[in-house]
Amino acid sequence: MTILLTMVAAFVAALLLTPLVKRLAIRLGAVDKPNHRKVHARIMPRMGGLAIYAAFVLGYVLLRPESEYAAAIMIGATIIVLTGLLDDFLEITAKAKMAGQLLAAGIVVFYGGLDIDFINLPFGGTIDFGYLSIPLTILWIIGITNAINLIDGLDGLAAGVSTIALITLAVMAGFMDNIFVVAVAAILAASCAGFLVFNFHPAKIFMGDTGSLFLGFMISVLALTGFKNVTVISLVIPIIILGVPISDTFFAIVRRIRMKQPISAPDKSHLHHCLLRAGFSHRQTVLIIYSFAALFGLAAILFSQATVWGAFLIIGIMLLVIELFVEIIGLAGQNYYPLLKLVKVKK
């Protein structure tokens, strides 16, 4: 079976399975209740990520893409889905969720042998990570997993951003002739798209931690599989692709440090909260963030084809634009205007 036909099968499977998972979630009491931190105003069934996972597994079994990392990735993905299911049902502690993530990441690293051993520098030479390769790889997996989890705050947001990131990963992997990453990313993107039919505003079901943890885990692992042991420039590519969740997470940490709050403390100042406060509607906010994600994806593709100096120029422009945007919408908290103040001083 071709990748395209498998994508169609995964998309249809997600369309058919999502209503079933919705009914199951309601019957089992896996629902998300409104509170002061959440945008929705009524009880919503969650654990919709189970439909994404099931549709993905169906597509994976049909196509059977081959890789030395395949078994470890699938085992790790199943562990992360079970962790998400437990949280959607029982609302387990942060430590329990982290334990599940560490176990899933550990399977990929220790059983699968997937880690970043070294990178080649753009002007010659190599950085060998040695004993740091394993903790750095685990940190990457857990960091991206939670970054996707953090942006899951509006209808269709995490599913749409993940779909865009997965399509970009598939395109980039195609440039590198990595058929495994192309196939897995494409199947997962199709599964997300099928779920998004029911998850876009106004949503009929949430993906819950079952979906956000699963998508974050898979994106982090696929990025490693496609870009490990390459140049610094190539290593930046997955970071650009995941620019939206990484930026949101980074500035959430900055914001909490500035406000002298615990880094893990929840708040209502994430990217989508800031855009809503700026006067955009729910749907407009999601579409704006989709646009950002697509621009990051396009930048990653241009970045991969640029010269070394061209790549540095792209990074510089991106960082400048991100910083200005962050200051304008207040993503890093109140009274954070270093660049804007600099411009005013110069004037």
Return the structure tokens found at 209.
């931690």
Write the pLDDT tens digit of every residue in 12-51: 999 999 999 999 999 888 887 765 555 555 688 888 999 9
Q: Which residue has the tokens 């993906």?
A: 207
Q: What is the pLDDT of residue 256?
A: 82
87 is in an annotated binding site: no
3-state secondary structure 284-314: HHHHHHHHHHHHHHHHHHHHHHCCHHHHHHH
pTM: 0.85
- Low pLDDT (below 50) residues in the chain: 347
Percent composition of the chain: helix, strand, coil (DSSP 3-state, to 5)? 70, 5, 25
Q: What is the pLDDT of residue 338?
A: 77
Query: Is 243 in contact with 189 (CB distance < 8 Å)?
Result: no
335 is in an annotated binding site: no
Closest CA to 63 of 6, 13, 7: 6
Closest CA to 287 of 201, 194, 168, 188: 201
* Amino acid at position 227, single letter: F
For residue 98, how many C-alpha atoms fall within 13 Å in the half-sphere facing its CB?
A: 6
DSSP symbols for 5-41: HHHHHHHHHHHHHHHHHHHHHHHHT-EE---TT-S--
Peptide bond into 338 cis (omega under 30): no
Length of the chain counted residue by residue = 347
For the chain, domain boundaries: 3-346
Write the pLDDT tens digit of every residue in 301-347: 887 777 778 878 888 888 888 888 888 888 777 777 777 777 665 54
Query: Is 147 in contact with 215 (CB distance < 8 Å)?
Result: no
Strands (E), the chain: 31-32, 44-45, 118-120, 126-128
Closest CA to 77 of 26, 114, 44, 45: 114
d(CA 188, CA 9) in angstroms, rounded, equals 11
- Whether the CA torsion 64, 70, 75, 79 is positive or negative: it is negative
